[in-house]
């Protein structure tokens, strides 16, 4: 068995009989063909986490979570999600043959909900959950109480709630370390509650413990302006992340108004010369489209947040253009059909009445390069 279990010695100890894998991990790190040169970067890379089995990096989390649930003999998976975590947990619950109950963030994309249902999960959407801090706290308290009554835990892709399963996400850093070798690098990571950013920070720290000569990359935390709980706090050298009353970004998956792992992200970034960046939703959608049109990378909006942050960092002259830059592409484009429809609006289907019309059209459009 491979997948993330390639790094078994760096993961929580789980008996081999309980280790689940459906091919997560081992995602490619591809060099930019067009966007990098256009931005003046010779070494821009995209870590394609959208190519995981359920379409996001959350499969790394789910592989550990469901393996532990199996080993502990818990008969169900109870979790919260804005989309990708739920889809991943639902997929791995299906493999484990256990029921999956998901409390869903209000407004989660239909594509992700459909995917969860396809795997057989029960989805329960709570009004204003994931948007309003008070509602979110009350919902989490209730779920934790229910889980505790069954000697279990609520699966949330954050170290605050699921530190063991989040070690699966740290394998992203292990892979980048192997793929880039000793090349000096800076890694741009999208953040909602900060779990992914913290996992990558911890992953590079763990890799440096094992390989003492490894030079850790600089980590940049990127957030939408409508959910700026961590990025500006890093920039202002604050000691704590800042919860907001209501998340207003339209970028699904990053609508996390609470702090969650934010305080730890602050410490890691500031101790390693990392920086925080905020981006406007419009910038994110624009880069999402450019990734598809110029690189052939089809991602959800959250998957383009890192690149939007990198572009702003370049404008502000806040990165080393000679060093490699890595953008984490977190999830697949099919997960957010609304954003996909907007991207494809300029390429609407043209209906041809017959082959004569088709021939005439193509003769006016097709040219030898």
In tens, the pLDDT along 181-228 reads: 988 899 999 999 999 999 999 999 999 999 999 999 999 999 999 999
Q: Name the nearest CA neighbour of 269 among 234, 303, 229, 296.
A: 234
Cα–Cα distance for residue pair 302/292, rounded to 1 Å:
14
User: For position 169, what pLDDT does the model report?
Assistant: 98
- CATH 3.40.50.1100 applies to domain 3-55+165-344: yes
In tens, the pLDDT along 71-84 reads: 999 999 999 988 89
In tens, the pLDDT along 310-366 reads: 999 999 999 999 999 999 999 999 887 777 666 665 566 788 888 999 889 889 988
Cα–Cα distance for residue pair 47/294, rounded to 1 Å:
16
Domain positions in the chain are: 3-55+165-344, 58-149
- Asked whether 85 and 55 are in contact (CB, 8 A), the reply is no
Predicted model pTM:
0.93
User: For position 365, what pLDDT does the model report?
Assistant: 87
Task: Work out the average pLDDT over 230-240.
Answer: 94
In tens, the pLDDT along 78-120 reads: 999 888 999 999 999 999 999 999 999 888 888 888 999 999 9
- CATH 3.40.50.1100 applies to domain 58-149: yes
In tens, the pLDDT along 57-67 reads: 999 999 999 99
User: For position 1, what pLDDT does the model report?
Assistant: 60
User: For position 136, what pLDDT does the model report?
Assistant: 86
**Pairing outcome for strands 44-48 and 29-31:** antiparallel
Same fold, 3-55+165-344 and 58-149: yes
């Amino acid at each position: 068995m491979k997948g993330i279990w390639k790094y078994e010695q760096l993961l929580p100890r789980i008996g081999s009989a309980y280790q689940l894998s459906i091919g997560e991990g081992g995602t490619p790190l591809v060099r930019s063909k067009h966007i990098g040169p256009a931005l003046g970067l010779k070494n821009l890379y995209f870590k394609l986490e959208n190519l995981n089995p359920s379409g996001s990096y959350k499969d790394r989390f789910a592989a550990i979570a469901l393996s532990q649930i199996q080993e502990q003999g818990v008969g169900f998976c109870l979790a919260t999600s804005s989309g990708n975590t739920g889809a991943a947990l639902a997929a791995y619950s299906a493999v484990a043959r256990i029921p999956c109950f998901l409390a869903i963030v209000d407004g989660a994309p239909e594509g992700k909900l459909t995917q969860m249902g396809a795997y057989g999960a029960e989805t329960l959407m709570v009004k204003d959950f994931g948007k309003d801090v008070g509602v979110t706290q009350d919902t989490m308290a209730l779920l934790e109480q229910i889980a505790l009554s069954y000697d279990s835990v609520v699966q949330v892709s954050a170290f605050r709630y699921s530190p063991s399963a989040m070690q699966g996400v740290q394998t992203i850093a292990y892979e980048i370390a192997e793929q880039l070798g000793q090349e000096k690098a800076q890694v741009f990571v999208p953040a909602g509650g900060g779990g992914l950013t913290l996992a990558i920070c911890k992953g590079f720290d763990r890799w440096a413990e094992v390989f003492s000569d490894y030079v850790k990359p600089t980590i940049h935390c990127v957030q939408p302006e409508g959910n700026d709980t961590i990025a500006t706090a890093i920039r202002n050298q604050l000691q704590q992340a800042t919860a907001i009353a209501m998340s207003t970004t339209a970028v699904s998956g990053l609508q996390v108004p609470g702090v969650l792992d934010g305080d730890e992200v602050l410490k890691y970034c500031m101790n390693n010369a990392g920086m925080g960046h905020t981006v406007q939703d419009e910038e994110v959608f624009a880069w999402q489209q450019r990734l598809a049109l110029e690189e052939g990378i089809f991602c959800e909006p959250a998957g383009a947040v890192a690149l939007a942050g990198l572009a702003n960092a370049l404008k502000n002259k806040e990165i080393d253009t000679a060093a490699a830059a890595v953008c984490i592409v977190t999830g697949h484009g099919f997960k957010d059909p609304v954003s996909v429809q907007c991207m494809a609006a300029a390429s609407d289907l043209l209906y041809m009445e017959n082959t004569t019309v088709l021939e005439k059209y193509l003769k006016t459009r097709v040219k030898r390069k």
